[in-house]
Chains A and B, each alone.
Chain A
């Protein structure tokens, strides 16, 4: 379908002949069609972003609450009982509430914030703008994608308020804890709602992903060949492919889980005895099967989270170093390699489950291979920065922060990828530190970088720079102060998922350190609220953008009007003549993608 047809689906036949003549769109926009059931990709992106922010605050708050328990296991906080009721009897978070908080924190941040909030936002916002399309291939399915996500959010939110509490068996939802209602309070209604919510989320991400792929392949403007795409688009493309191929496997796993929960099957269950209930009749299932199915999604999911951040960071680093990205093709190649390897390494999460050791060693090999494309990317980012004319905007700082975090979190991945070391390190705070740095905080930084960088395009105003600096420095220092000590705790064998470490002789030494981590996490959380203030304040009161191209960038989104309407370009969609990274070429600061290649221009 041509770009015109997207906006005017009913007049396709009429405009069939007159392609190229743009028809000003003149549909009447009401509040509902503009802000609620909008089919404009830019509005849908903002919906994803703001819903993601709500979840980030909730998920972050949960982490603060359980950090309170970990940092101050002996103190009681009467105000906790006021807000949590029976879940914090006597001002103490109960073990059930603790596990429910950890589980919901994980689920919400992995899926709702860093998948929907990150790739949902920026895929929607940037794909049509950067490839030169009027909207997504199917704006309607795009809208549905958001509303399925919204429904998933509501269901997840409602699970917090049920009598038996939300699911509390960890975000990985391993059976039997997730399959048997009798196993724990959270495994009852809370788990049902959790599964329903996740199933809705899978549908949402599928609708979104199909749309992103079809749009990137089919709707690029004239001259925008695949090798002229900004790296953001490449990254979002691979993200969508990962989602489309891996989420259905999770869905299958969940369907089998639903049968185990409700219809007496034993796909994942065998030889189980529950205290107070007795022996269960289930025979012949395998709990490890669920782990395989889960991690077949779960590992690509890590890259679904990470790749969009990588793409945006590549773009922002290049723009703000005033230098072409180093190794454009190598960047695409490494993205591709990561996308493939993402599907081949899932069982490295399962080294100690009784996985066949020989099979495990193959997984070790494949896992360590990921270091190669990751290292290529890191070197390319560093060489892009090298001798660049760096502008330290807030977005740029977060992009550099991403690179730092990706290196320090990635290196510990090499430790964990070795099954021999993993026997010692698995299920300790070392793992917590590793994945929070490399996947959680790093992707969060990519997201912040993207928000600071594209905020002028989203709202026509700047975010406050000073607040941005405070946000950045406190967050990066805080992130390292929170997660760096966890490496030591993990090396000392401190397991994750414990409710109270102070009662263990071996871990008493970490009481002070845990308190320190909790304290920092609260400060960092407060600074995120500062960012939220900056965000919402700047939407209405921020400094106005006066130039069409405030960052002097080459990509197409900066050729649109200040506040583009539905359809993005008022006239013809511009034609593209070059790659997006012509910075500092032939003495020119930047050459927009729409500038034709001059006769005497040098080749890059």
Chain B
């Protein structure tokens, strides 16, 4: 830690300190996220490949058109998912604020913002649970697809297969992100970071959480928009 004092750019790589001026944990988190980006990338690219090798595909606006507590048969495409998207963006914002407060050693703000982030995550998961449940009752699941293609022809099950697999995998990431954030919250409340003198752990948790948000940007576009 003490190696980070005077940094002159020319000596960054000469050894004895991090060339990026970053502690190893954050470096590992970044490269883990890159690796994870390839996991998600592979999923989404597989989805694209199958879509490209299929003649027809269902219209997302016909599939994702319901809203909780709305009467059956309501046609509100994109509305519910945009709410989910905003929830995740806002939770990302509160996470940045928590990280920022951590850098200022402001425990109280860290706690409030972490709580908001956790609540955002739980809200997102609840929305997803509702949507999955709703689709399930419409007959959609892994291996069964009640929806027709755009042009009214029969659709293969891969539309729902990919939808559930990829949003499920993303949901799993959100879930583990929430768990990580809860652990961070507990550690903050126990003054662990005050004792250490830094809130670097929160930064790493933050990176993970933003990554989850980032993935949703891609999932949202690939499944609901295009």
- A contact set with B: CB distance below 8 Å: 1-2, 5, 12-13, 16-17, 19, 131-132, 137-138, 141, 206, 210-211, 213-215, 217-226, 228, 244-249, 251-253, 255-256, 259, 263-267, 282-286, 289, 292-293, 296, 576
B143 touches A265 (CB 8 A): yes
B49 touches A292 (CB 8 A): yes
Given that A249-B38, A256-B165, A284-B157 are known contacts, is A264 also in contact with B142, CB under 8 Å in the complex?
A: yes
A222 touches B16 (CB 8 A): yes
Number of B residues with CB within 8 Å of any CB on chain A: 46
In the complex, B191 has a CB within 8 A of chain A: no
Which residues of the partner chain B approach A214 to less than 8 Å between Cβ atoms?
24, 27-28, 31
Given that A249-B38, A265-B142 are known contacts, is A225 also in contact with B50, CB under 8 Å in the complex?
A: no
Given that A214-B27, A285-B50 are known contacts, is A245 also in contact with B35, CB under 8 Å in the complex?
A: yes
- Which residues, 1 to 41 on B, are CB-close (under 8 Å) to A? 1-3, 13-20, 22-25, 27-28, 31-32, 34-36, 38-41
Given that A226-B13, A266-B161, A286-B50 are known contacts, is A206 also in contact with B20, CB under 8 Å in the complex?
A: no
Given that A12-B1, A137-B28 are known contacts, is A289 also in contact with B38, CB under 8 Å in the complex?
A: no
Given that A16-B1, A225-B14, A264-B142 are known contacts, is A249 also in contact with B39, CB under 8 Å in the complex?
A: yes
- Which residues, 135 to 171 on B, are CB-close (under 8 Å) to A? 142-144, 156-158, 161-162, 165, 169
A5 to B198, CA, bound (A): 15
Which residues of the partner chain A approach B17 to less than 8 Å between Cβ atoms?
218
B15 touches A225 (CB 8 A): yes
A296 to B39, CA, bound (A): 12
CB distance from A254 to the nearest CB of B (A): 10
Which residues of the partner chain A approach B161 to less than 8 Å between Cβ atoms?
259, 265-267
A255 touches B15 (CB 8 A): no
Which residues of the partner chain B approach A245 to less than 8 Å between Cβ atoms?
34-35, 38
In the complex, B197 has a CB within 8 A of chain A: yes
B19 touches A217 (CB 8 A): yes
Against A, the Cβ 8 Å flags (1 = close, 0 = not) of B27-61 are 11001101110111111001001100110000000
Which residues of the partner chain B approach A225 to less than 8 Å between Cβ atoms?
13-15
Looking at chain B's contact residues, is the secondary structure mostly helix, strand, loop, or mixed? helix
Known: A255-B165, A283-B157. 5 other contacts (CB 8 A): A210-B28, A210-B32, A218-B20, A222-B15, A256-B46
B15 touches A17 (CB 8 A): no
B20 touches A1 (CB 8 A): no
Which residues of the partner chain B approach A228 to less than 8 Å between Cβ atoms?
15
Given that A19-B2, A286-B49 are known contacts, is A265 also in contact with B157, CB under 8 Å in the complex?
A: yes
- Which residues, 50 to 87 on B, are CB-close (under 8 Å) to A? 50, 53-54
Which residues of the partner chain B approach A210 to less than 8 Å between Cβ atoms?
28, 31-32, 35
B46 touches A2 (CB 8 A): no
Chain A residue nearest to B2 in the complex (CB): A19
A253 touches B20 (CB 8 A): no
A357 to B81, CA, bound (A): 40
5 nearest CB pairs, A to B: A284-B156, A264-B143, A222-B16, A252-B42, A224-B15
Cβ contact of B15, chosen from A138, A223, A284, cutoff 8 A: A223
B158 touches A267 (CB 8 A): yes
Which residues of the partner chain A approach B34 to less than 8 Å between Cβ atoms?
244-245
A285 touches B158 (CB 8 A): yes
CB distance from A295 to the nearest CB of B (A): 12
Chain B residue nearest to A223 in the complex (CB): B15
Which residues of the partner chain B approach A217 to less than 8 Å between Cβ atoms?
18-20, 27
Given that A13-B197, A248-B36 are known contacts, is A286 also in contact with B53, CB under 8 Å in the complex?
A: yes
Given that A1-B25, A138-B25 are known contacts, is A293 also in contact with B32, CB under 8 Å in the complex?
A: no
Cβ contact of B39, chosen from A223, A252, A265, cutoff 8 A: A252
A12 to B1, CA, bound (A): 8
A314 to B24, CA, bound (A): 28
A19 touches B31 (CB 8 A): no
Which residues of the partner chain A approach B53 to less than 8 Å between Cβ atoms?
286
Cβ contact of B16, chosen from A1, A223, A252, A264, cutoff 8 A: A223
A-B contact pairs, 20 of them (CB 8 A): A12-B1, A138-B25, A214-B24, A214-B31, A217-B20, A219-B24, A220-B16, A225-B15, A244-B31, A247-B35, A248-B36, A249-B42, A252-B38, A259-B161, A259-B165, A264-B144, A266-B143, A284-B156, A284-B157, A285-B156
CB distance from A115 to the nearest CB of B (A): 16
Which residues of the partner chain B approach A251 to less than 8 Å between Cβ atoms?
39
Chain A residue nearest to B41 in the complex (CB): A249
B38 touches A1 (CB 8 A): no
Given that A16-B1, A245-B38 are known contacts, is A283 also in contact with B156, CB under 8 Å in the complex?
A: yes
Cβ contact of A284, chosen from B23, B28, B42, B54, cutoff 8 A: B54
B156 touches A263 (CB 8 A): no
Which residues of the partner chain B approach A292 to less than 8 Å between Cβ atoms?
49
A246 to B41, CA, bound (A): 11
Cβ contact of B50, chosen from A222, A255, A289, cutoff 8 A: A289
Which residues of the partner chain A approach B144 to less than 8 Å between Cβ atoms?
264
Which residues of the partner chain A approach B20 to less than 8 Å between Cβ atoms?
217-218
CB distance from A186 to the nearest CB of B (A): 24
CB distance from A213 to the nearest CB of B (A): 6
Which residues of the partner chain B approach A265 to less than 8 Å between Cβ atoms?
142-143, 157-158, 161, 165
| Among A137, A138, A218, A296, residue most surrounded by chain B Cβ atoms (within 10 Å) | A218
Which residues of the partner chain A approach B40 to less than 8 Å between Cβ atoms?
252
| Among B2, B20, B22, B195, residue most surrounded by chain A Cβ atoms (within 10 Å) | B2
A604 to B34, CA, bound (A): 38
Which residues of the partner chain A approach B156 to less than 8 Å between Cβ atoms?
266, 283-285
Which residues of the partner chain A approach B42 to less than 8 Å between Cβ atoms?
248-249, 252-253, 293, 296
CB distance from A168 to the nearest CB of B (A): 26
Chain A residue nearest to B3 in the complex (CB): A2
Against A, the Cβ 8 Å flags (1 = close, 0 = not) of B200-225 are 00000000000000000000000000
Cβ contact of B2, chosen from A16, A138, A222, A293, cutoff 8 A: A16
Which residues of the partner chain A approach B165 to less than 8 Å between Cβ atoms?
255-256, 259, 265
Which residues of the partner chain A approach B41 to less than 8 Å between Cβ atoms?
249
A283 to B144, CA, bound (A): 11
B15 touches A220 (CB 8 A): yes
A131 to B17, CA, bound (A): 12
Which residues of the partner chain A approach B50 to less than 8 Å between Cβ atoms?
267, 284-286, 289
A248 touches B1 (CB 8 A): no
B158 touches A284 (CB 8 A): yes
B143 touches A1 (CB 8 A): no
CB distance from A498 to the nearest CB of B (A): 31
B142 touches A263 (CB 8 A): yes
Which residues of the partner chain A approach B143 to less than 8 Å between Cβ atoms?
263-266
B46 touches A289 (CB 8 A): yes
A417 to B184, CA, bound (A): 51
A223 to B14, CA, bound (A): 5
A210 to B50, CA, bound (A): 32
Which residues of the partner chain A approach B27 to less than 8 Å between Cβ atoms?
137, 213-214, 217-218
